[in-house]
Amino acid sequence: MAASSSQERVAAITGGAGGIGEACVARLRRDGWQVVVLDRDMDLARQVADRHGAIAHEIDLADTASIDAAAAWVEREVGPCSALAAVAAHLENPHMPERQDEAEWDAILRVNLTGTFRTLTAFGAGMLERGAGSIVTVGSITAFNSSPLQAYGPTKAAIINMSRNFAVAWGRRGIRVNCVCPGPTRTPAVEASYARGERNPDTMIRQTALGRLVKPEQVANAIAFLLSDEAGAITGIELPVDSGTLATQLWSLYGGVPDPRT
């Protein structure tokens, strides 16, 4: 159980056991939130919760009953949930569309699209009753342009659209909804993917304006800001946190991002 007082406001983080999720847990605990780490991987979720004085609980975004049960558990056992970071996602490796595995397609849509939608409705229910809350979804820069992430990219584009829908539907009922869109972020899972040769950090760094990839805590900083009262006038936006990767795209037509050494 968390070493925190009942005065603290409650934040729930799906995918809280992952790289960006743990960074959110750490940041929101420092900001004084009571944090619930929700994940399918309970071993990791417990470790993250122990490291940061949070509470771990199981959720499976592929299962609506599990999402509903987790939301009800948080409200009943921890307290009124006033912030939700919907971070959990099924990731994907690059491939050509004709090589798309159908089962993986279904799993990605189930978790990222349907699961995120159900997470917002389940955790939003209590916020609607109380007329207050803030939600941040997690998209990706793959939402904005073509990429070889054939199922993942479309689900992230849909999450942006979904977040705007919720922002307008629930805005006058006291709930803000925004979407943070990370670029390549050096989480343990992505580092492992580099090590396996599935992704190349050097080609990714070359596409950034800043000449470096994103750190998980930099994504968490944006999420924490949008969840906080300081972002009280912000809803229905998508915020790239990508070291300027989206900004560089047309520079490739002119020889790429300038190298300060040349």
Give the residues lining the site for ligand NAD (CB under 6 A): 15, 17-21, 39-41, 59-62, 87-91, 111, 138, 140, 182, 184-185, 187, 189-190
Spatial CA neighbour of 216 closest among 43, 74, 42, 27: 27
Rounded to a whole number of angstroms, the minimum distance from the CB of residue 190 to ligand NAD is 5
The C-alpha atoms of residue 38 and residue 87 are separated, in whole angstroms, by 10
Judged by beta carbon, residue 124 or residue 153, the one nearer ligand NAD is: 153
Counting Cβ atoms within 10 Å, is residue 261 exposed (0-12), middle (13-18) or buried (19+)?
exposed
The C-alpha atoms of residue 202 and residue 223 are separated, in whole angstroms, by 26
Rounded to a whole number of angstroms, the minimum distance from the CB of residue 199 to ligand NAD is 9
Rounded to a whole number of angstroms, the minimum distance from the CB of residue 176 to ligand NAD is 19
Judged by beta carbon, residue 60 or residue 68, the one nearer ligand NAD is: 60
Q: Could you say which of 117, 123, 144, 152 is catalytic?
A: 152
Residue nearest to ligand NAD (CB): 18
Judged by beta carbon, residue 126 or residue 240, the one nearer ligand NAD is: 240
The C-alpha atoms of residue 40 and residue 72 are separated, in whole angstroms, by 17
Judged by beta carbon, residue 38 or residue 231, the one nearer ligand NAD is: 38
Q: Is residue 134 within a helix (H) or strand (E), and if so which, with residue range? A: strand 133-138
The 10 Å Cβ neighbour count of residue 98 is 6
Rounded to a whole number of angstroms, the minimum distance from the CB of residue 53 to ligand NAD is 19
Spatial CA neighbour of 116 closest among 159, 171, 170: 159
Token digits of residue 90: 């099924």
Rounded to a whole number of angstroms, the minimum distance from the CB of residue 225 to ligand NAD is 16
Q: In what order do the strands lie in the sheet with 238-241?
A: 55-58, 34-39, 10-14, 81-86, 133-138, 175-182, 238-241
Judged by beta carbon, residue 18 or residue 133, the one nearer ligand NAD is: 18
- Answer yes or no: 152 catalytic: yes
Catalytic sites, residue numbers: 152
